[in-house]
Structure 1
Amino acid sequence: MPVLDDAGAEALVETVAAQAGRVGALLAGDLPHELVEHAEEAGVELLPYGGELATTCTCEGWVDPCVHALAVLHQLTWLMEADPFVLLHLRGTGREELLARLHARAPAPSAGVDPEDGDDDLTTAYDAAERAARLLELLEGDGPPDIDHLL
C-alpha cells in the first residue's frame, strides 16, 4: 500500500488538527467518517482502494488474491477496525509520529496567563491544557501510565 509523501503527511496532520475531538476519537479507536472525507478533500486518500492493495504468495493457487492473501487482508481489516492507527501506520504516519507532529503544532502557553484571574472558561481551558500535557508526558514515558494523579 502506498505511503503518504511529506506533503500528504502534513495535510493529514492539518486535517486531524483542524477539528477538536479528532485526536481523541483516534485514540479511542474510532476513525471518524468526517475525518476521512476532509482528508480526501485535502488530497490524502486514507482508505485503500482495490488497486492499492497488492498481494503476493508463494502458493500455487491461480486466483488473485489467493486464499492465503485473502486471509491476511481479512486480518488487516480487523486490525484497522480495532485501531485506526494501523491504517495510518500503513500509510507511513504511525501513532507516535502523528502525535509528535500534532504536539509540535500546539501553540505555546501564553506568558502572563493567570488561571486565577477569575475567568472560569479560561481557568478550565488552562487546567485541561495542563492535564493534556501531563498525559502526553506519561504516554511518552516507559511503563503503563498512572492517570490517578491527573484527576
Structure 2
Amino acid sequence: MLLPILRWPDPRLSQLCVPAVLDADLRALAADMLETMYAAPGRGLAAPQVGRLVRVFVMDVGWKTGDPTPLVFVNPELELLGTRVLGPEGCLSIPCPVTEVERNAQVRARWTDLDGVAHDAIFDGFAAICIQHEFDHLNGILTLDRLGSEARALAESEVLA
C-alpha cells in the first residue's frame, strides 16, 4: 500500500524516533515503505517520513540502474568512517532542488532485518551517503539542518515558494 510522504515543515520530521518492535505490523510497514519509496521514486525512505516515529528505514541504491538490492534496517546503529565528502542530496520530504551536504565517505552499519537476523557491514559511496541520510531522519535531522545558514535560507525559500 502506498503511504503518504510527509513534507517539510511537518513537525513529525524533526522528532526523535523510538526503537522499533519486530512484529507483523513492522513487517507490513516495511513492505509499504518499499512500495512507497519505489513509487516516489526514491532510493531510501525512513519511517518518520510516513508518519511512523520508529527506528526503521528502507533503502535500495541499485534499483534505478537495474540492480535492485532492497534492504530494511531495523534499529540501526552507525559508525562514521572515511573522509568527509561534499555531495548532492535530495529528500522525498523536501521538494526542492538537490542540496550539497557534507557526509562521511564510508560507514559501518549494524542493524536487524525483518527476520530478526543481526547484520554488520561497511558501506561506501552512494550507499554510505544514503544510509547517513536515512539514519538522520530517525534522529529528527533533515538535510536542511546540515546546511549553512545562507544555503538553508535559500533552500527553505524555494520549498515554501
Same fold (TM over 0.5): no
More helix by share: 1
The TM-score bracket by the shorter chain reads under 0.3
TM-score by length of 1: 0.26
TM-score (norm 2): 0.25
Is the strand fraction higher in 1 or 2?
2
Larger Rg: 1
